[in-house]
Structure 1
Amino acid sequence: MTSPVFPFTAVVGQDGLRHALTLCAVDPAVGGVLALGDRGTGKSTTVRGLAQLLAREDLDMPVVDLPLGASEDRVLGSLDIDRALRGEIAYAPGLLAAAHGGILYIDEVNLLDDYLVDLLLDVAASGVNTVERDGISHTHPARFVLVGSGNPEEGELRPQLEDRFGLSTPVATIRDVEQRWEIVRRRLAFERDPRGFLAEWAEREERLAARIRLARDRCADVDLEDDLLEAAVRLCVDAGAVGHRAELVLVRAARAAAALAGRPAVTVHDLAAVAVPALQHRTPRTALEPVSAAAARVRVAATAVLGRRVA
């Protein structure tokens, strides 16, 4: 029997993480979420809550964990030993096959072994996984939303992998006493009566799931005027974003935000709302410079280009 999952909408705080995950649920092409910050801040709880919420509307995005010490065979797939003993040659799917169409979640992603990073980069670039083992050559689609979390104090993330995450958001310990009190109250209530707690939040979960479904259906039809596309490109240039993936992520996230809000076209507000999570991890910074400094530069550039203050 599957254990109850804490509701996505009941997570206190962490608005940036929840919004970024929601945008990726609307359009997986946004490219996933990188959540770096303090341990014990509900990152994995939030990711799993989203998967449960989407299942309510038959928008299944299963969450598959990629452990740090996973073998290459476990990640890519390998020879099916049971069938091999019967004289058959068959492929046994790995974690990447299980994650197709869902979320591949990596906790402590900054501690991931280099060989696993290389595997992920290859598959993420092509959307296809090819396995060759003991006379078997097998290819299958492997398109997934990549979600990674970790504490930056424990190690740096390779720039090539960092760039593969569409959006990035810091996840910090909440300092507000009332919010921390509410976190404890909700968690204890959930542990005491999981079914009752889920029932209490069911309506809010259903409303958000329905909004995501509608947004998915209309996202491709959301209009992006040339002047806003030009503004998005200029914003990337002025913020110093490295690579051309920045513009694509920025406009895809803005389009998803517009679809979620029910707007027929992307607005300046939509671009401003996604500028920092789309660009802060693509802006060069010195070794001792915190991510907040890069975020500040993006805000300054966005304010100048878009003519509005970016939170």
Structure 2
Amino acid sequence: MSGFPFAAIVGQDEMKTALLIAAVEPRIGGVMVFGDRGTGKSTAARALAALLPPMRVAAGCRFNCDPDRGGCAAGSGDCAAGEVIEVPVPFVDLPLGATEDRITGALDIERALVGGEKAFEPGLLARANRGFLYIDEINLLEDHLVDLLLDVSQSGENLVEREGLSIRHPARFVLIGSGNPEEGELRPQLLDRFGLAVEVRSPADLAARVEIMRRCDAHDRDPAGFAARFADDNRAILDRIAAARAALSGIAVDEDVLADAAALCLALGVDGLRGELTLMRAARALAALGGEDHVTRDHIRAVAPLALRHRLRRNVLDETGSTVRIDRAMAELWP
């Protein structure tokens, strides 16, 4: 059954932009999507993963090793045969009830009991390597698990040391979290670890809501035919991502743009330097997606709400939303 095409998603431009930026620049550190139920959060993430071309992996490797790097990165020997195959980019759902062992991996109990062999059973992080890890209602996930996931997503490695095992394997994935703020908020220090934050709302435009119903119904009745309708648009998006990835390292970021990013973070009282770094990386990825060769203040303006809205301290004297505070600060800095 064909998934819902990324190009067919109506509206939600900010969420789609954030996902495209994360696909181009994985160092962004993941995307947090807050919003109403039924607004296409998981649909958009799945559609983006399905849009990407198949990836090359070493046959039989349970860690999705990149064959171009040579050998099994986890040292398991699963890649020894040397055969290379193509598989879809993984999209892994992490259920709220998942234990730490299920996420990180643990001792293979069956092999230990039957053969007396200490063997590692990879977890969800191994399955998500080089793909996407999606957590719905992440604000309901236990804090220590969120800490663990954010640490791994930043380092790109998963280290497991327990039951006499010591395993280190690559775990490079785009972390996407979604949640409804009415059901609880993430701690600010955890929110700060996400690269980008998006706020989605149910469409207020009648025509948009009608078009969403029309497209969902068409997809339900004929998934393959519906996907074919948007195949060219999806291919164009894929070409943009591929071109942006290739051009990313060559995108120039001038000193005045770096100064703009730092000045905005200072004006907003953003703690630490993650804000500036994310602002710079997101602006560069956006420039690459637009086919431009250098970052401008306009790119900083465009990504500032995504990169900074979740990093602002609460101000009891200012009850305006974080996006309004960011817009106001930019207007004062760059009238």
Instruction: Give me the TM-score of the superposition, normalised by structure 1.
Output: 0.93
User: Which residue matches 1:82?
Assistant: 110
The farther-off stretch of 61-70 and 171-180 is 61-70
- SS of residue in 1 equivalent to 2:175: strand
Size of the aligned set, in residue pairs, is: 304
Q: 1:174 to 1:57 in 2, by over 3 A?
A: farther
Instruction: Rate the CA distance shift 1:167–1:208 in 2: closer, same or farther, 3 A.
Output: same
Q: Are the aligned partners of 1:57 and 1:210 in contact in 2 as well (CA < 8 Å)?
A: no
The answer on 1:253 being equivalent to 2:282 is yes
> Which segment drifts farther, 119-128 or 37-46?
119-128
1:295 aligned to which of 323, 326, 334: 323
Q: Among residues 17, 20, 23, which one is paired with 1:22 in the alignment?
A: 20
Structure 1 residues 151 and 226: CA distance shift in structure 2, 3 A: same
1:183-215 deviations in Å (ceiling 9; x for gaps): 000000001011100000000000010110000
Name which of 269, 277, 285 aligns with 2:306. 277
Contact 1:272 1:306 in 2 (8 A): no
Is the CA contact 1:35–1:170 (under 8 Å) kept in the aligned structure 2? yes
Distance, in Å, in 2 between the alignment partners of 1:90 and 1:72 is 17
Q: 3-state DSSP class of the match of 1:174?
A: coil
Q: Secondary structure at the match of 1:270?
A: helix
**CA 1:204–1:38 in 2, change beyond 3 Å: closer, same or farther?**
same
Task: Determine the structure 1 residue equivalent to 2:77.
Answer: none
Residues 223, 60 of structure 1: CA spacing in aligned structure 2 closer, same or farther, 3 A cutoff?
farther
Give the SS at the match of 2:168. Answer: strand
Residue 48 of structure 1 corresponds to: 46
TM value normalised by structure 2: 0.86
Answer with 274-283 or 79-88: which moved more.
79-88
Partner of 2:249 in structure 1?
220
1:118 corresponds to 2:116: no
Structure 2 distance, partners of 1:95, 1:154, is 25
Give me the whole-angstrom Cα distance separating, in 2, the residues matched to 1:248 and 1:134.
39
- In structure 2, the CA distance between the partners of 1:287 and 1:197, relative to structure 1 (3 Å rule), is farther
Counterpart residue number, 2:181 = 152
Report the Cα distance in structure 2 between the residues aligned to 1:96 and 1:56, rounded to whole angstroms. Answer: 19
Asked if 1:143 is matched to 2:172, the reply is yes
* Cα separation, 2, equivalents of 1:303 and 1:53: 37
Determine the C-alpha separation between the residues in 2 that align with 1:241 and 1:226: 20
Long gaps (5+) in structure 2:
57-86
Q: Contact 1:275–1:302 (CA<8 Å) still a contact in 2?
A: no
What is the RMSD computed on CA atoms of the aligned residues?
1.9
CA gap of 1:272–1:167, structure 2 versus 1, over 3 A, is same
Once residues 6 and 16 of structure 2 are traced to their aligned partners in structure 1, the CA distance between those partners, rounded to angstroms, is 8
Matched to 1:164, the amino acid is R
Change (3 A) 1:78 1:259: same
> Greater helix share, 1 or 2?
1
**CA distance in structure 1 between the partners assigned to 2:31 and 2:301 by the alignment:** 18
How big is the shift at 1:133?
A: 2.6
Distance 1:72 1:299, change over 3 A: same
Say which SS state the counterpart of residue 98 (structure 1) adopts.
helix
Query: Aligned residues: percent identity?
Result: 53
The structure-2 alpha-carbon separation of the partners of 1:56 and 1:181, relative to structure 1 and needing over 3 Å to count, comes to farther
